[in-house]
Amino acid sequence: MPIVKPFVASRKFASTIGAGTGTGATFAIAATTFTDDSGAAAAAFPSSFAYYVLYINGMLQTADVSTVTTTAITIPGGDALDPADPVTVEFVVN
């Protein structure tokens, strides 16, 4: 029997903390403030994915730090970070 490799790819999006709105538990960064892998403005995050990875200022974040929808990523307390801190979100899709 042949081995069938599953399809796995990733989609990366980049922005900064300064693009976020709200305070405390409601701090969120809209998907439309991110750029995608090609440098184009993102319209939305993937609606179906296996998992996502969040990096803030180049540091990998644990799963309890954020939640994501197709329209935004919520990072409670993110408003306390420096506005210039880069934010990268990588979605692994299958």
Question: What's the domain count of the chain?
Answer: 1
What are the distances in angstroms from CA 73 to CA 3, 7, 76? 36, 25, 10
Range of the domain at 78: 9-93
What the block records as the tokens of 85 is 């801190």
What order do you get walking across the sheet with 28-30 strand by strand? 28-30, 72-74, 67-68
Task: Examine residue 46 and state whether it is found in any structural domain, yes or no.
Answer: yes
Q: What is the mean pLDDT of residues 73-89?
A: 96
Enter the pTM of the model: 0.89
pLDDT of 2 strictly over 80 = no
Give 43-71 pLDDT, tens digit per residue.
999 999 999 999 999 999 999 999 999 99
Task: Examine residue 1 and state whether it is found in any structural domain, yes or no.
Answer: no
Task: Examine residue 25 and state whether it is found in any structural domain, yes or no.
Answer: yes
pLDDT of 5 strictly over 70 = no
Task: Examine residue 3 and state whether it is found in any structural domain, yes or no.
Answer: no
